[in-house]
Structure formats: C-alpha cells, structure tokens
C-alpha cells in the first residue's frame, strides 16, 4: 500500500488479479494435461498457425511475454506430450520452429473453449466478454502493457518501501 492511498495500489490489484486468473486457468486446463503457462503457449501457437505463421521459439516468447528459456522448456515438455513439433528453421539453423500436432490442435481447441467460459465468468461483473466496460478495461490494460519500463536501480531510495 502506498502512503498516498488508503487502499490497495493498482500494482497490488493487478498482481492479485493475475494470480487469481493463473490459478483459475491452471485448475481449468489441468484435466487436459496442461498448465496455465503451457496453455498460453499452445493457444498463442494455435492463433499464429491459423494466421499462416510457423513461429520460432523466440517469436513465440516475444508474443507471449515469456522468457525465451522458459518457452524452450515448455516446448520440450509439450513435444514430449505429443502436442507440438519442434524443428530447425531451414533459414536459420540456430532457430527452432514450433507447430501444433493434430493432437495438439484438438487439445488446444478444447482448452480454448474451457478458458473462454472461464473468461466470461471472470468478466461477468463488468457485463461479460462483449460488454462496453470489458472493452474499456481491455483498452486500459493494453495501454499499460504497451508502456515501456525503465529498469529500476536496485537500491534507489524512491522505490524503497513500495509494493508492486
């Protein structure tokens, strides 16, 4: 909490909402053999493939906001589960391209349906997925996600004693 505000800070609320959402998605996709992070990867890959793209691990990392090393780890696990294929990019032998297998597409379609229902439930207080308040909320989140952040100095006195 900040000294200027008697209630929780926006950062704290965003953090709490993100954790609530992660836990809910983890529980919802677990019966399909996925975690929230794996779901984020396969759902993004599904959308990119539908748009005609066969992304590299790096491109998928950039798209999801996940660290490239973490995407690599997730991709190996998903490959072992038979959900994705990892192949060398013929244009760049250092790059690995990803694609969903048939089984991966089927599991991803199911998972997207489950998560869409969950999203509708989460957004019901704003009027649901197609509500004007939800669109405004999405616009605000998009603005915040697009704002560049400068790396903070670890012992900067202006950041001491603040919460996320």
Report, as an integer, the average pLDDT of 63-73. Answer: 94
Q: Which two tokens stand for residue 106?
A: 């089927």
Output the average pLDDT for the chain: 90
- pLDDT tens column, 120-163: 999 999 999 999 999 999 999 999 988 988 876 666 555 555 55
**31 vs 2, residue with greater confidence:** 31
Res. 47: pLDDT tops 80: yes
pLDDT grade for 4, boundaries at 50, 70 and 90 = low
pLDDT at 58: 93
Residue 9 contacts residue 16 (beta carbons within 8 Å): no
* Residue ranges in the chain assigned as alpha helix (H): 10-29, 36-50, 57-64, 68-80, 102-123, 132-146
**Residue 21, CA atoms < 13 Å, CB-side half-sphere:** 16
pLDDT grade for 31, boundaries at 50, 70 and 90 = very high
pLDDT at 91: 85
Cα–Cα dist 116/108, whole Å: 12
pLDDT at 154: 65
């Amino acid at each position: 909490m900040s000294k200027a505000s008697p209630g929780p800070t926006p950062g704290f609320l965003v953090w709490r909402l993100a954790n609530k959402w992660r836990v809910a998605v983890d529980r919802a996709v677990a019966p399909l053999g996925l975690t929230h992070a794996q779901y984020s990867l396969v759902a993004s890959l599904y959308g990119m493939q539908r748009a005609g793209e066969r992304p590299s691990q790096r491109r998928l990392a950039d798209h999801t906001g996940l660290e490239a090393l973490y995407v690599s780890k997730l991709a190996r696990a998903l490959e072992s589960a038979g959900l994705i294929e990892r192949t060398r990019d013929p244009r760049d032998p250092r790059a690995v391209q990803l694609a969903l297998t048939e089984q991966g597409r089927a599991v991803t379609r199911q998972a997207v349906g489950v998560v869409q229902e969950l999203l509708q439930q989460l957004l019901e207080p704003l009027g649901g997925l197609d509500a004007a308040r939800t669109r405004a909320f999405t616009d605000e989140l998009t603005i915040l996600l697009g704002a560049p952040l400068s790396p903070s100095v670890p012992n900067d006195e202006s950041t001491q004693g603040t919460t996320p």
